[in-house]
Structure 1
Amino acid sequence: MNNSPPVPDHSVVPTNFPRPRPVVAAVNGKLTESLEEYDGKLYALGSSPLSLWRSWEICEELAQHLAAECCELQTGAWVHLSKAEILANQFIRMEKCGWGTAPEMHWIIRRVAKLLDWTPLLDDTP
């Protein structure tokens, strides 16, 4: 019986999914970069194929959840709001809760709009 976790398919991470910027810090007067190792290679912290896949998986799951919630809100409590206002309110909720980095939250809202076939927010750039 194999109890190993499944190997993630890194190819499913969309090319438009945000990549973290390298973190560079000064230690004892020298610049250093935070690195992680994956499959024998070094990557900037958070940018290995496994780290990107994990981040994308969380963001995709949240986008799927929010898309379903937006449909419910559109016909229920937020029936008086436009689709753009619903998306904007969802973004504000994510921001207040700290549900990811700014680029991830923008990606999530764009993904929600795509899943619902709604027009994405015009000012949705990190």
Structure 2
Amino acid sequence: MDDANQIYVPPSFTALFTSPSGRLTEPVSIVRERYELCEDLAQLLTEHACDMRSRTGRPEGELLRTMQLGLSEAGAQVRPFEAEWVVKRLAELLDWEVPT
């Protein structure tokens, strides 16, 4: 990522846009925009996930899988591979186990 921008895109996200040869498959600006969207989404979902857990009593992994399915639906703001990253990031933020 270029040094002119202050936003740090973690390697776990950059990997989503990296070819087997190690080159980005999208321009840096697009990767950064997608990261900002996905990170914001994960942050916004923390309260919702905790609320759902306390209201329903469903296991954390089940809630995260359900959220990933919802994020992966047609017409969603994120692509399925980004939805998977969002859910992993959400699990990290909540200190929940990442669903398999």
Q: Which TM class, normalised by the smaller chain length?
A: 0.7 to 0.9
Superposition RMSD in Å? 1.8
Gaps of 5+ in 1: 1-6, 22-42
> Amino acid of the residue matched to residue 106 of structure 1?
E
> Amino acid of the residue matched to residue 121 of structure 1?
P
Gaps of 5+ in 2: none
Deviation at 1:99, TM superposition (A): 2.8
- Say whether residues 1:110 and 2:93 are aligned partners: no
Instruction: Please identify which structure carries the higher strand content.
Output: 1
* Aligned ranges 1:25-36 → 2 under 5 Å: none
Q: Is the Cα contact below 8 Å between 1:63 and 1:108 reproduced in 2?
A: yes
- Say whether residues 1:65 and 2:61 are aligned partners: no
Point out the structure with max Rg over C-alpha: 1
* Aligned ranges 1:1-126 → 2 under 5 Å: 8-10=5-7, 12-17=8-13, 18-19=16-17, 44=25, 47-76=26-55, 78-79=56-57, 81-96=58-73, 97-122=75-100
Count of aligned residue pairs for this structure pair: 90
Hey, which bits of structure 1, 4+ residues long, moved more than 3 A? Answer: none
Q: So what's the TM-score if we normalise by structure 1?
A: 0.64
Q: So what's the TM-score if we normalise by structure 2?
A: 0.79
> Amino acid of the residue matched to residue 69 of structure 1?
H
> Amino acid of the residue matched to residue 95 of structure 1?
S
Report sequence identity in percent: 23
Q: Tell which has more relative contact order, 1 or 2 (C-alpha 8 A, sep 6+).
A: 2
Cα distance in 2 for residues equivalent to 1:70 and 1:9: 29
Write the deviation string for residues 71-111 of structure 1: whole angstroms up to 9, x where unpaired. 111111x22x1001110111111122523112111100000
Which range is displaced more, 88-97 or 108-117?
88-97
Q: Is the Cα contact below 8 Å between 1:8 and 1:50 reproduced in 2?
A: no
